[in-house]
């Protein structure tokens, strides 16, 4: 069995298409199909059920896929560590970033890292804090920026506090509250909100704050994009509670107002607690963040 065959299986499983998998692996589709059929004959099982229009991984394929990923990761890790011993940093670096990251200039950090370690393949993923913690724990992600309530620190990973902040109310410039200098949660009881989807870490700080205050809150709109949230507020449809760093001072049509008993959020940098890769260690060392203090 060849590592290339395992790479092809992983590509087909993730792309759900032989054509897209071949494009991703930079081979012609016939060659990729031939290699997977040869592997199926060697194993004596079907890895994929396929028709001319549809590809689905079988139960045997799912079992093989998990071990194939482990083998490929181990092989890449071996190459990376051999290169590190020779003074080089190679391999891949997968980074997760929440929509409201504010404590790190991600493009600048990645640019600096790429110039310093050009042989590392960088992958950037968007999503939510919970899925990032799971991905890091399972070895599918190296580093992530998380946003969590102060009462719910990340578990099962190494983490360092990047910033603590109190969320502010964001309203349109024409909103009746726009001229207020300070608010309390009870002042927002009759407002309609836009927020991140229910159950996500991005929304949890606000939900917990209103629950603790015994105040009902109507979330009329849900969105994963901070830009979409701000646009909905700008149109006067809803208000929001967001990190003050998300709103640019030059943002047209918006006003931010401190909320004295408002929700607080902590931004974390998280990485594997079990033997991080050479690329991950190099990336962490490249960030201008103190190495002590709130590590967990």
Q: Do 133 and 11 lie in a common domain?
A: no
Other Cβ atoms within 10 Å of 61 Cβ, number: 22
What whole-number distance in Å separates Cα of residue 114 and Cα of residue 116? 5
The pairing of beta strand 121-126 with beta strand 92-97: parallel
Q: Please state the domain count of the chain.
A: 3
Asked if residue 246 is part of any domain, the answer here is yes
Asked if residue 296 is part of any domain, the answer here is no
CATH of the domain at 121: 3.40.190.10
Query: Using one digit for the tens of pLDDT, what is the confidence trace for 254-282?
Result: 999 999 999 998 999 999 988 788 889 89
Range ranked top by mean pLDDT from 53-67, 147-161, 165-179: 165-179
Q: Do 103 and 156 lie in a common domain?
A: yes
- Domain final residue, candidates 32, 54, 82: 82
* Class of residue 255 by CB neighbours under 10 A (exposed 0-12, middle 13-18, buried 19+): buried
Whether pLDDT at 291 is above 50: no
Asked if residue 113 is part of any domain, the answer here is yes
Whether pLDDT at 80 is above 70: no
The pairing of beta strand 218-222 with beta strand 192-195: parallel
User: 25 is in which domain, residue-wise?
Assistant: 3-82
Q: Do 130 and 45 lie in a common domain?
A: no
Q: Which residues pair with 293 in a beta bridge?
A: none
Closest by CA position to 144, among listed 269, 291, 287: 269
Model confidence at 293, pLDDT cuts 50, 70, 90, reads very low
What whole-number distance in Å separates Cα of residue 190 and Cα of residue 188? 6
For the chain, what is the total number of helices (H) and then of strands (E)? 9, 12
Query: Using one digit for the tens of pLDDT, what is the confidence trace for 53-71?
Result: 788 899 888 888 888 887 7
What whole-number distance in Å separates Cα of residue 286 and Cα of residue 132? 21
């Amino acid at each position: 069995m060849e590592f290339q065959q395992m790479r092809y299986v992983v590509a087909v499983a993730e792309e759900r298409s032989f054509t897209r998998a071949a494009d991703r692996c930079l081979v012609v589709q016939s060659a990729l199909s031939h290699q997977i059929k040869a592997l199926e004959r060697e194993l004596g099982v079907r890895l994929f059920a396929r028709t001319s229009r549809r590809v689905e991984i079988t139960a045997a394929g799912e079992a093989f896929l998990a071990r194939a990923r482990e083998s490929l990761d181990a092989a890449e890790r071996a190459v990376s560590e051999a290169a590190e011993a020779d003074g080089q940093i190679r391999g891949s670096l997968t980074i997760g970033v929440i929509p409201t990251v504010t404590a790190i200039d991600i493009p600048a950090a990645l640019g600096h890292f790429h110039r310093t370690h050009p042989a590392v393949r960088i992958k950037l993923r968007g999503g939510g804090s919970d899925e990032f913690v799971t991905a890091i724990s399972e070895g599918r992600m190296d580093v992530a920026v998380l946003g969590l309530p102060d009462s719910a620190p990340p578990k099962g990973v190494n983490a360092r506090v990047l910033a603590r902040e109190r969320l502010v109310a964001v309203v349109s410039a024409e909103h009746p509250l726009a001229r207020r200098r300070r608010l309390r949660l009870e002042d927002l009881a009759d407002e309609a909100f836009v927020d991140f989807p229910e159950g996500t870490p991005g929304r949890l700080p606000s939900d917990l704050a209103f629950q603790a205050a015994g105040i009902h809150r109507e979330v009329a709109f849900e969105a994963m994009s901070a830009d979409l949230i701000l646009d909905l507020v700008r149109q006067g449809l809803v208000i929001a509670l967001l990190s003050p760093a998300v709103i640019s001072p030059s943002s047209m049509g918006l006003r931010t107002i401190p909320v004295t008993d408002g929700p607080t959020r902590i931004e974390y940098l998280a990485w594997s607690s079990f033997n991080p890769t050479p690329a991950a260690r190099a990336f962490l060392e490249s960030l201008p963040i103190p190495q002590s203090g709130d590590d967990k």
